[in-house]
Each structure stands twice: as structure tokens, then as C-alpha cells.
Structure 1
Amino acid sequence: MAHVVRAIEAVVALPAYREQVLADAPAIAHIGAGGAQGVFFGYDFHLDQDRLGLIEINTNAGGAMLNAVLARAQRSCCQAVQAMAPDGASVTTFEQRLVDMFRREWRLAGNSRPLASIAIVDEAPQQQYLYPEFLLFRQLFERHGLQAVIADPSELACRHGRLWHGELAIDVVYNRVTDFYLDLPANAVLRQAWQEQAAVLTPHPQAHALYADKRRLALFSDEAALRALGVADDDRQVLLANVPRTEVVDAAHGDRLWAARRSLFFKPAAGFGSRAAYRGDKVTRRVWEEIMTGAYVAQAFVPPGERVIPNEGGSSQSMKFDLRAYAYAGGVQWVAARVYQGQTTNFRQPGSGFAPVYTTVDASGRGMGEAEGEYASYVFLLDAEGEVHALPHVLYVALARGQALAPMLAGRTLRLADWYVRLQAGGEPGAVVNETYGLVRFDGEGRFNLEAAPGDTAWPTPAERRRMQELLLS
């Protein structure tokens, strides 16, 4: 995910890209070049087995503070999982970085005095689903010595070149409205403040035009367009591998798109929150007419991930999930999962909502918090198609002890390779000193059972061995 974020930042930084994109953007999107970059970009991904697909980019992604609270409350079920979970110190660091991010936005806008005040602004904020997060942000800002208010745009006014909330002059507006170009009369004061630079607005209309308009996904997934812009080879390959093929819907191609609809997902170019978004195999003729006459994009369908969630009483239910990478200035700040049921991401069903994501330091070996030593075990799963999947060692231990499940592998039999590796100075993997191979069977719920393999049937092919070496050294 971090590679995708960096690749998109590299494209957006190209003058040719900005000129092309802003040429047909509203005039207000031309304001802001060289100033504030925009806080809380959300890069939303589907993870289908090992395939990662960037579904969309949001420039006012919600949930970051809720996930910080969730991380503080999370309790690990076992030591192996604890090694992968964020701790209180990492959450404190994350919160400090959030405050630093707003201060950096203030400085990027050309201000030399310290940031003093922030308004968290949305339409009817107390009625918003994520209003509790607004309260958390206000508390965070106040803990760091900033004056903070939560306000509807109607509570603001421009006077004497400044934006005001009552008698408080506002330095920065943390913009949570979804009228991205501030076209609605209700947001006229925000539009005026941005046009007159009476306050720093973040995120701002230009950020939406450059990143979040879903027509950009068509460009990010088009090899010819990327080449024409002069995108570097490495960045181009990252985008083509991880951004599902997307095209702007044109009624002239309606017959072709209708025939291919079952493999497509349709979403409005300026949409948000999964509104008016449709899986192609669920589209009716009435909805199809709306898609043909509206501003839509068609994206190759990448299934969301799935997890089996236990219920009270011993039953379980299958839930879908996506991954949201919160990012700023090309760097990933935090990763969270959104668990749901239905066609599109939503939090309406019992058991849905944000969920923690456990991560490891590297792709295949030692996990967070694992003690340094002279040797480390690196584990890989090999499938019948010749694909090699790195298995974090802490997860391998948890599976072997029956302390974790792998529902995405339920019912599968795979070969397992365990390489015992001598570590070099600095902890980098060096020579492989021992190799062990076997079979691992996962039952219907993803429980792990390791078995001996007859003869050399579990040994890797030369191509698989090369891939394991690449993963080991990456």
C-alpha cells in the first residue's frame, strides 16, 4: 500500500499531470498550488487473497481518531498477536503526528507565527455519523494547546480578511464537508474564505481534483496515459499492478459495458461513501439508464476480503472487509480495516465497523518485538499454481499453536517451507543454513495442521526457490 501511495504522489507531482487534470476542473480547484497539501487522505484497498486493488482515494477520510481509540482499547489474545498489534506508545506517536500535520499545513500556507486555532467544520456536525470523532479531534487539539471548535459553515463569517467563529479568529479549517468544490450556497462562507485565503482550508478543492475524482483512477490504470505523462517505470508498474483497470463511462460504449457488467463495478466520478455505487451483476435496467446518463466510472471488480466473525452462542457469520491507509504527503500514517456486509462498505449491520490491522516488520520473517539473535526462521506457503506466499513467523507460530485461524485458506492444502537463516550484522538475512518442507492442511474454518510430506513432494521448483530468495532479500 505504501508503494501505491508513493507512486500516486509521484504522478501528481508531475507538471504534465497537473496541467491535464486541472484543465477541466472548476476554477476554485486552481487555488492552492504550492500551499497546504491536504490532511487525511484515505487510500481504500480490497485484498483478494494476495491481490491488492486500490478501489478509490478519499481526500477527507474519516475514522482516524476512532481507530486510535480502538488501538488503545485493543487487547491481544496471545503473545504472538501482541507482537503485531500497535501499543499505547505507537498510538501516542500517531496522535502527535496528526497535530504536527495540521501545524505543517499552516506553515506550508506561508504562515510564520504558530498555529493557534482550528475549526472542525461539517454541515450540521452534531447530526453526522462520525460526530464522536469530531469531539475526539477537538480534545486532541486542545490537549496540544490549540483552540478548537466544531462548527457548521453557517456559524462562520469572513471579516477584515480573516475567518471568524464568533469572536475567535480561525487559522485552519479542518474541512469535513463533502461538497468538494464548495458549490452549495450553504458553504458560501468556506468558498469565500478559500478564495480570499482568509484561513487555511484542509483538505481543499484542488486536492479533490488531483486525487479523489474517480476519473483519476482511469488515468492511474492506463499504461499509455502514464507513459505519455512521463511516469517513471517503477511507479508505472506499481500502479498497473495495483489499480484495477478503470474507464470513464461513455454511452457510446454502453453495449460493450453492459455485456461486461458482471466483471465491473460502477461508481459516480464525484461520489463518496459508496453512494450510488453498484456491482455490475446487481444492476437493473433502470439503474443502467442512470449510469449511462450520469458521470460514472467503470472499474474492474476486485472482490473484498472476507473474515469469519464468531457470534455469541457459538455461531459465526461471514463479513467482508477493505483496508484504509490514512496518508499524508506521500506517507502512510495508519492502516485500518472496515468490516461490513452488503454490496458496498457500510456500518449498518451488526458486527460491522472499524477493525485493527496486525502487521509485521518484514514480509516473511521476524515480527515486531521479536528479540534479535544470530538466526531467524522464514516461512513460506507454496500453492499448486507455483505462487509463493510469505507467512510472518509470529503468525505461523500462532497458527501452529492453535491460537489463530486463517479463514482465507480454509479447505486448502499447501506446501510449507521453513528456512532457518543466519542473520548478518544489523539483522539482515544472510545464508540459509537449514531447510524444512512439509504439507499444511487447513480445515473448513482455517485451522492449521502440519503434516510430513512423502519423499521430496513438498520441495520447491527452481522458480519457486528463486521467488523465496527474492522475498527473503526484499
Structure 2
Amino acid sequence: MMERIVQAIESASALASYRERALSWAPEIARIDPGPIGAFMGYDFHLGPDGPQLIEINTNAGGAFLNTVLARAQHRCCDPSQQTAATKQALDGFEDAVLDMFEQERKKQRTDSMPSCLAIVDDDPQSQFMFPEFQLAEQLLQARGIDTLILDPSELEYVDGALTANGKRIDMVYNRLVDFALDAPAHEALRRAYLDGAVVVTPNPRVHALMADKRNLILLSDPQTLRDWGLNEAEAGYLASAVPKTRLVAASNAAELWRVRRELFFKPVAGHGSKGVYRGNKLTRRVFENILEGDYIAQNFVPAGERAMKVDGTVTTRKVDIRLYTYAGKSLLAAARVYQGQTTNFRTPGGGFAPVFQL
């Protein structure tokens, strides 16, 4: 079901009218279409009595490499009856699927399919929570014959049409930056190389603008408009059932949003990592005024599912959401995030990533 929802979203995002609307609020750099469609898309869902509910979309979704290692370890010790063919196939085929994904991304911009040198780029990568994942990605790609570097963008140089680092020419970047438009001064070399078409960047600013800008949830939660734009009835039906109603926060609807705030969740349009988000039932008037001054959307609140578990010998409950990692609308891996509190986090005792086994 979740994969069908993902495919419906990607069909909607390919509609000319959808793209025109999404790009109308995007930065100028997003109007450039170099070809790649985005490695490791992440679709986050809450599960409930009404089926999967889409919470958000991410273009540089972290955790796939770590979750593969975790799921394989869990798979080795679980009851054989839980070792379904679908789960085993996803885990056994992960490395091949990742390699094919990067090959396809490169082919969409270059005639040759394999990069000679790929850089995994993030700000101060060794300080990042996901740094072990970068190392796993590096190991996988190196083992498949792709020279791979983990770099801070300040290590990149762009001279005479070549993006280089450590004396090596970089022809592909696996982009883990959260500066989605590559606007920061520290990202200038990467930005210029991208604009000149000198390097394949995935995911890139256009993919973020079309898929992960949270204003797009306004479009995806309006199935009738999507039908009018050409989305078929079946896919519009999936979105009608799975995408909570979302609206833009503005002065013109402030009174109504304040009145129904307890039923809403407020998110910055370009946010990431649950930063700057607010559950409506906890809003103060002062915080709401700050939201009105920023760029926010308001999404109908959908409670997370819960799972009973034992932590330090005590049975307790934790919230759970599901992340589907995909490429070109096809699932690469499913993983859960277990947490306590208003939003997903990795600080909860007994929380963090957890494997998902398909039954």
C-alpha cells in the first residue's frame, strides 16, 4: 500500500501543472533540470486505523545503510516464520539496488553510467550523527570499484570546469547537505559546478523543490485539483486516503488556524530533522505569532502508532513511524523509527531505528 502511495505521489509530481505550481515557490536554481530524479527518497508514514498516512517527504533521507545492517542482524536471530521472502529479497538485493540507483542517476545526465570518483558531501561530516552511514556507503561503493570520498564542501575546488578534492576530479556527488538550494557561501564551489553541469549531484535542488518542499503537501492533499490536472482516478484515490489535509499558514487564515490549532501540526516549509515543528495543542500565542512571521504549513494532526516494548526490564510504549526508502517509485527498504515525545528523535531510551519485516 505504501509503495502505491509513493507511486501516486511521483505520478502527481510529474504533472505539468503540479510542477509549475511547485516551482513557483522554489528558488531559481530549482528551475534547472539536469536529469537526475533523486537518490534515496524517503517517505515517512504514520500507521493507524485509516491505513498509512504520509507525514512528510525527504530527498536526502538518512539511515538506509544503517538499517540494512540492523535488519540483517535481526533477521539472523529471528524466528524462521518471520523471515518472509519480501524482506529477504530486499536485504539480499540492497547493494545491487544501490549501485543500480547511482548508475541510473548518472545516466540521466551523462552518457557513461559509472562515476570514476564519487563524493559523499555534508557539512563537517565526521561530526554528523549519520557519519557511520557515510562510512558504510563509502565501503559499499569502493567494493564495487567506485573511488569514493567523504568530504566537507569546503574541501571542494572548482577550477577550469573541474570539481576536485584531494587532487582527484569528482564527477558525482551524493548530496547529504540540508542547504537544499546550495546557497551557503561554503557551498559555492559545488553550486558553480552544478550550475555548469560539471558534476552530477543527487539529490539536487530541483528534486527537493518538486518533492520535499512542504508546501507541496498542499497540492498532494488536494485530490480534486490533481484530478483536474490529469492524475488518474486510482492514484488520486490513494492520495485522498493517505495525505492529511495541509494548508499554508498566512495572516489571512490566522484566526481560523488558531481556532482549530489543537487539530494541527505546524512545520516550516524548508525544515528538516523535526526542527521548528510544533504540535498545535501545545502552542502559545507568542509562538503562534512567530509562526505567522515565518514560512509554515499547517497539516492535520495524525497520531503516530505505538508499540509495546521492554526497556531496562520495564514494559512501556513508544511511538513508531515508518520510513520507506525508494528510488524511481520503487521500494529499496522499509525501516521504523521508535521514539517518545512530540517528534521523531534518537534520544529516547529504547528508541532509534528498528527493522521492519513484511508479513
Contact 1:76 1:85 in 2 (8 A): no
Residue matched to 2:158: 158
Secondary structure of the 1:306 match is strand
Distance in 2 separating the partners of 1:81 and 1:274: 32
Residue matched to 1:13: 14
Distance in 2 separating the partners of 1:80 and 1:92: 18
Offset of residue 335 of structure 1: 0.7
Letter in 2 for 1:334: L
Distance in 2 separating the partners of 1:77 and 1:92: 16
Contact 2:106 2:113 in 1 (8 A): no
Residue matched to 1:40: 40
Contact 1:267 1:296 in 2 (8 A): yes
Give deviations 1:52-87, integer Å, cap 9, x for gaps: 210000000000000111022114442322337834
Contact 1:106 1:172 in 2 (8 A): yes
Offset of residue 158 of structure 1: 1.0
Give deviations 1:370-413, integer Å, cap 9, x for gaps: xxxxxxxxxxxxxxxxxxxxxxxxxxxxxxxxxxxxxxxxxxxx
Residue matched to 1:376: none
Contact 1:21 1:209 in 2 (8 A): yes
- Give the 5 Å matches for 1:87-98: 87=88, 90-98=90-98
Secondary structure of the 2:93 match is helix
Contact 2:18 2:219 in 1 (8 A): no
- Give the 5 Å matches for 1:63-462: 63-74=63-74, 75-83=76-84, 86-87=87-88, 90-112=90-112, 114-313=114-313, 315-360=314-359
Contact 2:194 2:201 in 1 (8 A): yes
Offset of residue 160 of structure 1: 2.2
Report which stretch shifted further, 113-122 or 191-200. 113-122
Distance in 2 separating the partners of 1:359 and 1:165: 42
TM-score, length-scaled by structure 1 = 0.73
RMSD of aligned Cα (Å) = 1.5
Offset of residue 223 of structure 1: 3.0
Distance in 1 separating the partners of 2:57 and 2:86: 25
Offset of residue 322 of structure 1: 0.4
Secondary structure of the 1:321 match is strand
Distance in 2 separating the partners of 1:284 and 1:162: 51
Q: For structure 1, which runs of at least 5 residues remain unmatched after alignment?
A: 361-474
Distance in 2 separating the partners of 1:114 and 1:120: 15
Secondary structure of the 2:139 match is helix
Contact 1:158 1:198 in 2 (8 A): no
Distance in 1 separating the partners of 2:22 and 2:5: 19
Contact 2:3 2:330 in 1 (8 A): yes
Secondary structure of the 1:173 match is strand
Contact 1:84 1:358 in 2 (8 A): no
Distance in 1 separating the partners of 2:262 and 2:56: 19
Q: Which has the higher contact order (CA 8 A, sep 6+)?
A: 2
Distance in 1 separating the partners of 2:113 and 2:94: 24
Offset of residue 228 of structure 1: 3.0
Secondary structure of the 1:158 match is strand
Q: For structure 2, which runs of at least 5 residues remain unmatched after alignment?
A: none
Distance in 1 separating the partners of 2:158 and 2:354: 40
Give deviations 1:78-134, integer Å, cap 9, x for gaps: 2322337834x6423111110111111111102326321110000000010100100
Give deviations 1:225-256, integer Å, cap 9, x for gaps: 21332221111111011000000111221111
Give deviations 1:17-67, integer Å, cap 9, x for gaps: 21222233211101125x111101100001123432100000000000001
Letter in 2 for 1:222: D
The aligned length equals: 357
Residue matched to 2:28: 27
Offset of residue 165 of structure 1: 0.9
Letter in 2 for 1:10: S
Distance in 1 separating the partners of 2:136 and 2:42: 19
| Distance change >3 Å, CA 154–CA 303, structure 1 → 2 | same
Secondary structure of the 1:86 match is helix
Distance in 2 separating the partners of 1:293 and 1:60: 27
Letter in 1 for 2:215: R
Distance in 2 separating the partners of 1:77 and 1:224: 45
| Distance change >3 Å, CA 227–CA 108, structure 1 → 2 | same
